[in-house]
Chain A
Amino acid sequence: MSRLAHLAACLLLAACSAAGRDVQRPDLKVILAETPPPVLSDYGLFADVASAVPAEGVMPYDLINPLFTDHAAKHRLIFVPEGKAAQFDDTDVFSFPVGSVLVKTFAFAPDMRSPDEGAWRAETRLLIHKADGWAAYPYVWNEDQTDAVYAPAGQRLAIETVSPSGEPLKLRYSVPNQNQCKTCHQAGDDIAPIGPKARHLAHEGQLTRWVSAGTLEGVPDSVEAEPYAFDPSKPLGARARAWLDVNCAHCHKADGSASNSGLWLSATEESGARIGLLKHPVAAGRGSGGLAQVIVPGDPDASILLYRMASTEPGVAMPELGRSVNDPESLALIREWIGAMETP
């Protein structure tokens, strides 16, 4: 069966290359090529790039808790080569076969209270599983929104919008450069996806949909999901840890960019000192804000964690990349969580 599928894929590929640039299906040759193509449409990941309609075999997905990136709306797609499937993992990122592509498009609207009205795309980032590991490629959309152009050096975009809470924003939105992709996606010497873990994906039948599409194998009967961070009906501690997991732990982990801080913020971290309880900073510099400990239970205003989340100054602000304005909702959540901790 799988051999047949593979054969079909090969034939299809052949047919596609013969047909030249009218490719409407993901082109594995382009996906696995050593150097990235100059424009996004070359991958064949979209049936129609201008209207962002995914190609056949390319599936939309979402995360229970997305990383905050200046209120950008995010549209995620996943492609796994036909005849292959990702392997389920209960804590780490699923194991994706070579040729898999994760696509994330960042979009804004004039007013993010209605993010679909007048929406336009700022950038699309690709994570591609090449034969020798994952690689990250940023593409910036052109003004006509007809295609996106490979932009390895990154870019700053001046964006005016209104936040979901109605606050007018003038963003200095940062399209990360290719190295900055690695800052967040680092796993030891390699780079790796962040989002596609079971606990981030398991909601609204999403994993079942992946299985039916043949994208994922090995899913157990029951999968533990994290709570949506802003669902007050769920336990506060689990919501805060889920938020920190998605927004911080990609760097703040043993093999991440912030490993040397000794502050590790994955939802699965069990050591109190490692998640910052009464922990003194190491290399915070003025990021300490004159405060002595990362988290002071019961005292959010004495906690460096909250201070750095609430800053937009380079050298102080956390995360270091991808945020130029504050997210009041996130600040309120972490403030409530630290405030509710029992004082030592």
Chain B
Amino acid sequence: MSTYLCALGGAATLLALGACSPSTPDPSAAVIEAPAPLSAEGDFGATLQAALIAAKPGETILLPEGTFQLTDGLSLDVHGVTLRGAGQDRTILDFASQEGAGEGLLVTSDDVLLMDFAVRNTKGDGIKSKGADQIIYRYLTVEWTGGPDEANGAYGVYPVESKNVLVENVTVRAASDAGIYVGQSENIIVRNSVVEYNVAGIEIENSMNADVYGNIARNNTGGILVFDLPDLPVSGGNSTRIFDNEIIENNTRNFAPAGNIVASVPSGTGVIVMANRNVHVFDNNFDNNRSAHVLVMSYSLPFTDERYNPLPRDLVLRDNTYGAGGNDPQGDLAPLAAALGGQLPAIVWDGVDRWGEGEAQPVNLAVQEAPEVGFISFGLGQYPIEPAAMAPSTDRPAGTPAAEPAAIVLPHADR
């Protein structure tokens, strides 16, 4: 790479800076050696973008230690590249003065590993990967350092339309939509990560086969969301397991710009399952979520997509631990809770089982929790809400537990 770029000589000083300065003492000495980090001198954004464009498949690009101000979004479109910094708190790419692009870093190639760096204060999304199979996000931090704010970017870590997605040991703070959002993808693991002060901590949307475990979702508006939305190229989201997560104190005010689906998430919800099928929530610890620990609901807006089923189906809740919560329901839950005495139990279902002109359909909700864990259905029947039709019930539905999907295995996870 160096030789080629340097040959351009004065043609592109930008490039030359990046490629030439981290020179090894004797370029001819070894074919395989640890690459030197990119130079931190000069216009680092240009240096890094040039390196991302010139990278060869299989190459590792090392980022130096330091905080770097970037003025434009970065992008990577070469397969098999590793982009690695000096650490989540040592290599910081700050986009506070970003002038263009919809995200800080966009990856559109396969088999890419991103690790050990931070992305801050992007104008749009933090790191997005689209159509990027076998992507790994590892030991990354994405944050908006001013804390929750409507003007923050939407998603922190944002893989979409991809197969085999691994997100692990990342930290995301203050995204105005979801900290970690996986959309229209399949075969997904999100684990051992910390999401806090986001509107949604983790969101799995219109996706198939996801395992979400070992994460800490705290101080978000809603902790972990599993959604399916109409009118998208990929829909019919199903088969997600959410287990062994700490889902606590997700009581941050909802700061999502209106119009976005998460803008309707009531502050103080732990897990929300909406219009998705075969979702298993088990062995999690819920505590101090002021609206409800678990909210199960139908998609509530009108839609025209004929393939779409707005009901949650085949949901299993088992063996979770539930602390205090439901003591101060917010958002759309507030008026419903008010009609029931002002508080909500751990598990709340909207009780919607039909839409349009259709008949009621089986939702198959299986609640296998300790006997003292509270449950309520609002018995709404369908949207839009008609208060008169509300038929609340605390009887747990007697669903047959759907077979649990096998653990997700990602062939590239050990890379």
A: which residues have CB within 8 A of B? 35, 38-39, 149-156, 172, 174, 177-180, 182-183, 186, 189, 254, 257, 259-260, 262, 272-274, 278-293, 304, 313-316, 320-321, 324
Majority DSSP secondary structure for residues of A touching B: loop
B71 at the A interface (CB under 8 A): yes
The residues of A that contact B57 with a CB separation of less than 8 Å are none
Known: A149-B11, A273-B304, A273-B305. A288 touches B260 (CB 8 A): yes
Nearest-Cβ distance from residue A146 to partner chain B, whole angstroms: 14
List of A residues within 8 angstroms of B408 by Cβ? none
In the complex, besides A153-B15, A260-B161, A316-B123, 17 extra interface pairs with C-beta distance below 8 angstroms are: A150-B8, A150-B11, A152-B15, A153-B14, A156-B71, A179-B75, A179-B106, A182-B77, A260-B130, A260-B232, A280-B231, A282-B229, A283-B183, A286-B257, A287-B257, A315-B153, A320-B100
Within 8 A of A (CB), among B48-80: 49-50, 52-54, 71-73, 75-77
Give the complex CA separation of A249 and B131 in angstroms: 18
Our count of residue pairs bridging A and B at CB distance below 8 angstroms stands at 158
**Contacting residue for A182 out of B108, B176, B183, CB 8 A:** B108
A38 with B8: in contact, given A152-B50, A260-B232 (CB under 8 Å)? Answer: yes
Closest Cβ–Cβ distance, residue A283 to chain B (whole Å)? 6
B224 at the interface (CB under 8 A from A): no
The chain B residue with its CB closest to the CB of A294 is B259
B254 within 8 A of A: no
Complex partner residue of B231 from A177, A273, A292, A324, CB under 8 angstroms: A273
Across the interface, do A314 and B259 meet the contact criterion of CB distance under 8 Å?
no
Report how far A189 CA is from B151 CA in the complex, Å.
33
Contact call A290/B257, Cβ cutoff below 8 A:
yes
Q: Chain B residues with Cβ under 8 A from A290's Cβ?
A: 257-259
Cα distance A321–B54 when bound, in Å?
21
Name the residue on A nearest B8 (C-beta): A38
Contact with A along B162-176 (1 / 0, CB 8 A): 000000000000001
Distance A290 CA – B258 CA, assembled complex (angstroms): 4
* Nearest neighbor of B262 in chain A, beta-carbon distance: A285
User: Assuming the A-B contacts A153-B46, A182-B77, are A285 and B155 also in contact, with contact meaning beta carbons closer than 8 angstroms in the complex?
Assistant: yes
Closest-by-CB residue of B relative to A257 is: B130
The answer, yes or no, to whether B261 is at the interface (CB within 8 Å) is yes
Q: Are A285 and B124 in contact (CB under 8 A)?
A: yes
B258 smallest CB distance to A (angstroms): 4
> Contacts A179-B108, A321-B101: A313 and B123 contacting too (C-beta < 8 A)?
yes
Cα–Cα, bound, A80→B142 (Å): 47
- CB-CB under 8 A from A291, the residues of chain B are 258-259
The complex places the Cα of A178 from the Cα of B76 at a distance, in Å, of 10
Q: Are A286 and B150 in contact (CB under 8 A)?
A: yes
A283–B87 alpha-carbon span in the complex (Å): 29
5 pairs of residues in contact across A and B, judged by CB atoms under 8 Å: A174-B72, A179-B75, A260-B161, A314-B101, A320-B124
Question: B71 — which chain A residues lie within 8 A by C-beta?
Answer: 156
Q: Is the CB of B379 closer than 8 A to any CB of chain A? A: no
